Chain A
Amino acid sequence: MDPRDYRIRVDTNKCTGCRHCEVACSLAHTGDRSNYHRARIRVIALEDRFLPLMAGPYVSITEECASKKLVNINGFVYDQCVLCRASCPNKSIFKEPDSGIPLKCDFCGFRAEGPACIQWCTSGALTLIKIKPEAEEEL
């Protein structure tokens, strides 16, 4: 599959916080090790739900983040960080625990069967969407 044709749809209402997606991602990328601390997807616990986040492109930020703000969704106030898909240097959760190298979701482009996280997520929180010029089609 060509990763450029697809997107991952996240439905936070369905996420159970099982973090199987994290284990799948780490195993797919390390080859022989299970370690959710190496995942390129992290499931963040918010007040009322879990939010699976994929690490976006690494952005270089100096000391403070200019885009950081509070976001109000359905009456709940979230810190921008939990919504921001950037694996920023202020947020060490998206880094390799030993080397400190920032991690980035590569959409499992090297796997013929597609994203490992989606394969192991059974709740429906993660689904693969094919982007077509005219419409989105769920697979």
Chain B
Amino acid sequence: MFGWQGKALRVNLSNGFVEEELISENLLENYVGGCRLAKEVARLEEVSAEKNKLIFASGALTGTGVPTGAFCSVAGYVSLQEDILCAPLLLRFGPELKCCGYDVLIIEGKAPEWCYLFITDEEAKVIPVAEMEGYTPAEIEEVIRSSFSKWYGNDIRIISIGKEGEQPSGLGGLVTDGLLVNYSGGLGNVFGEKRLKAIAVRGTLDIKLAKAAVFQKIITDAIKDFREKRNKLFETVHTVFARLELPLSREIHHGEIEKKACLACPIACLHQREGKFLPNFTVTFCFSELLEIENMEDALTLYDLCEKRGIDPVALSVTGRMLIELAKVGKADVTLTPGDTKQLVALIEDESSLLHKGGFWLAQHYQSETLLQDITKKIDTTREEIFAQIEEAGKKKAVLEALGLCPYALLAFPYDVIIKAFEAATGKALEVKE
């Protein structure tokens, strides 16, 4: 098979049983990858509250070398939201999973004690780590990497959860190689239900390409074109962000920062200071517009706490806003003053506080579904602004997601070039259905 690896790995945490399965070509052709494929596998596997599984699906172009082809998606049934949620993972977990030989990873059952899953192209094993309970994601990464040689350890890609994921909560998110995964709120708790503290992958297998010479030429030409247009592109993005007027973002992303990128991404929108990731645009927007945090120190303190506890900052902001609004109308007996980071931190540290229930639970409990919709719509509308100049952006973003690409690729590369790259990589035509 070209582009895809054509295989899935099934791991049962209850008994440590591991099985390799072939994925039907039909399924890959129809669902391609990403959340689309993950959700279809979840449907076929009858994932539900009683039969919860974690499904990982990378994209058809993940790891092939197509610019931004770094993404992988993870889906699972989140009890507090009564639905299957799916979130994209950035950086390099997806490509490394593919180098282990798998497009899809299915994790079922529940481990008898806290464990982590280690996958290579030769084996997959469930490693008990009772002592890791309560560890922060950074500590888990350190423990896993340091159990190998430095060179090998540094090349292991890891997803882990913090304390928030270990308990029932609507905020428990994932951290991949030091980066908080936005929109993963609740999925960290699915890890927790399964007593799965982390997944570590390290593979060395090839991703074969159908028409490699054509593929290489398409990418080389696209990069050449990108180099020529880069300044204009960054100017456009800058204008969009300036229009959205986010003083907090300007403050955070100013000064001594390092640009970081996911695999094969020339855009490099991620930022680090002193080796630590900074909140990205979406998080900065959520902190400043939903939680009304005005200064950089408070925003960074909160982000740092999210990182340590493994809290999805987007879910935290949505829930925080819900509490602010519910308190205003006297519905919830918790007071949360907009912009008061100390109060918010206290609520996070109080594990029995309403905040940990998550936005969906609050909306249901206080019959405030419209409020929740309004808050999430605010984030979506702002994110969509970034793609305002692109025709049929919604459809194109969905296609990119299935291919394992970042939506921002649309700002830098023509859509038809990406489709041609897909055809050269897989040797198949892409049929886009509504």
Contact = CB atoms under 8 A, between A and B. Distances in A.
Nearest to B207: A34
Contact of B209 (A33, A48, A91, A92): A33
B266 A31 contact: no
Interface stretch (A58-66, A101-109, A116-124, A127-135): A116-124
B8 interface: no
B206 A30 contact: yes
Q: Which 7 A-B pairs have the closest CB atoms?
A: A97-B204, A18-B261, A33-B206, A32-B212, A122-B266, A23-B65, A16-B261
Contacts of A38: 206
6 contacts: A19-B92, A23-B264, A34-B63, A35-B204, A48-B274, A119-B223
A97 to B, nearest CB: 3
A92 B65 CA distance: 23
Interface in A45-60: 45, 47-49
B367 interface: no
A18 B268 contact: yes
Contacts of A23: 63-65, 263-264
Interface residues of B, number: 39
Interface of A: 16-20, 23-24, 27-28, 30-38, 44-45, 47-49, 91-93, 97-98, 113, 119-120, 122-123
Count chain B CB atoms within 10 A of each CB in A34, A36, A45, A91 and give the residue with the most.
Answer: A34
B366 interface: no
A17 B272 CA distance: 12
Contacts of B95: 36
Contact of B206 (A24, A35, A120): A35
Given A20-B265, A35-B205, A37-B204, 8 more contacts: A19-B264, A20-B266, A24-B65, A48-B275, A93-B155, A97-B204, A120-B219, A122-B266
Nearest to A93: B151
Contact of A34 (B65, B223, B265, B275): B65
B268 A123 contact: yes
Nearest to B150: A79
Contacts of B67: 20
A119 B212 CA distance: 16
A103 B275 CA distance: 30
B408 to A, nearest CB: 13
Contacts of A93: 151, 155
A122 B233 CA distance: 14
Interface of B: 63-65, 67, 92, 95, 99, 151-152, 154-155, 203-209, 212, 215-216, 219-220, 223, 226-227, 230, 258-266, 268, 274-275
Contacts of B216: 27-28
B223 A91 contact: no
A92 B219 CA distance: 29
Count chain B CB atoms within 10 A of each CB in A18, A31, A33, A92 and give the residue with the most.
Answer: A18
Nearest to A48: B275
Nearest to A124: B227
B57 to A, nearest CB: 19
A44 B154 CA distance: 8
Given A24-B65, A35-B206, A122-B230, A18 B223 contact: no
B66 to A, nearest CB: 9
Given A27-B216, A34-B64, A19 B263 contact: yes
A37 B261 CA distance: 18
B275 A47 contact: yes
A32 B219 CA distance: 14
A36 B203 CA distance: 10
Contacts of B258: 48-49
Contacts of B63: 23, 34
Count chain B CB atoms within 10 A of each CB in A45, A98, A122 and give the residue with the most.
Answer: A122
Nearest to B266: A122
B204 A18 contact: no
A45 to B, nearest CB: 6
A134 to B, nearest CB: 29
B356 to A, nearest CB: 34
Given A16-B261, A37-B99, A49-B258, A123 B266 contact: yes
Count chain A CB atoms within 10 A of each CB in B64, B203, B259, B261 and give the residue with the most.
Answer: B261
A49 B219 CA distance: 26
A27 B65 contact: yes
A100 to B, nearest CB: 11
A48 B216 CA distance: 32
B223 A27 contact: no
B48 to A, nearest CB: 37
Given A16-B261, A18-B262, A49-B258, A34 B206 contact: yes
Contacts of A31: 212
A20 B64 CA distance: 10
A18 B264 contact: yes
A27 B226 contact: no
B266 A33 contact: no
Contacts of A37: 99, 203-204
A38 B203 CA distance: 12
Contacts of A119: 220, 223
A33 B268 CA distance: 24
A49 B274 CA distance: 9
Contacts of B220: 113, 119-120
